[in-house]
């Protein structure tokens, strides 16, 4: 546990210095993966630590909503739920079709393709004993594709970040 704690601290510090999306969670995972590959660590963290991490991340996300007026945010929340359900339906369909072709368990592919944050989905994978490296890699690839391709798409469509700018 001490080695994993050191990996978390070193990875977090390195992650703060890198301008990558999700680097503060991804880099500690890379550092801990290196510790596992080098044979310094075996097994997985205790369920209690995973549960505490989920509560801390959930609390941090929930704290961002303090002070919001529910009446003003009802429409975005409803649209977000509809969007998430649509993405989940697409992920489920793709996982169902692609899992046998790729030789992967459907539940692992579904978790890797489901909408959600890198940290949250990685914790869920860890809690469900799904290949965490696979799930994290798939979500990181998704984030990188969105960050790199979205601006190109928006420029091609003629959309601007601020319509008042020339």
Expressed as residue numbers, the domain containing 164 is 74-166
Q: Determine, yes or no, domain membership for 64.
A: no
Q: State which residues of the chain have pLDDT below 50.
A: 166
- Assessment of whether the complete model's pTM goes beyond 0.75: no
Is position 112 within any domain? yes
In this structure, is residue 129 part of a structural domain? yes
Residue 35 token pair: 């510790």
Q: Which two tokens stand for residue 75?
A: 């429409």
Question: Is residue 1 in some structural domain?
Answer: no
pLDDT at site 164:
57
| Residues 10-58: tens digit of each pLDDT | 988 998 888 776 677 778 888 888 888 888 988 777 878 878 887 888 8
- DSSP states of 98-156 as a string? HHHHHT--HHHHHHHHSSS-HHHHHHHHHHTT--HHHHHHHHHHHHHHHHHHHHHHHHH
Contact predicate 110/98, CB 8 Å: no
Residue 143 lies in a domain: yes
Asked if residue 151 is part of any domain, the answer here is yes
Question: Is the backbone of residue 105 left (phi > 0), alpha (psi -120 to 50) or beta?
Answer: beta
Predicted confidence at residue 20, as pLDDT, reads 72
Tell me if 96 sits within 8 A of 106, measured CB to CB: yes
Domain total for the chain?
A: 1
């Amino acid at each position: 546990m001490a080695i994993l704690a050191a990996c978390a601290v070193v990875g977090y510090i390195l992650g703060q210095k890198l301008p990558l999306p999700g680097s503060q969670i991804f880099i500690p995972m890379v550092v801990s993966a290196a510790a596992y590959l080098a044979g310094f660590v075996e097994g997985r963290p205790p369920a209690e630590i995973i549960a505490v991490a989920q509560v801390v991340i959930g609390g941090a996300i929930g704290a961002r909503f303090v002070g919001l007026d529910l009446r003003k945010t009802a429409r975005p929340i409803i649209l977000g739920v509809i969007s998430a359900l649509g993405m989940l339906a697409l992920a489920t369909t793709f996982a169902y079709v692609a899992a046998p072709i790729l030789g992967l368990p459907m539940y692992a592919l579904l978790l890797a393709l489901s909408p959600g944050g890198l940290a949250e989905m990685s914790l869920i994978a860890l809690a469900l004993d799904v290949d965490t490296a696979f799930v994290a890699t798939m979500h990181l690839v998704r984030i990188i594709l969105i960050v790199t391709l979205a601006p190109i798409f928006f420029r091609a469509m003629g959309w601007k970040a601020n319509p008042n700018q020339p």
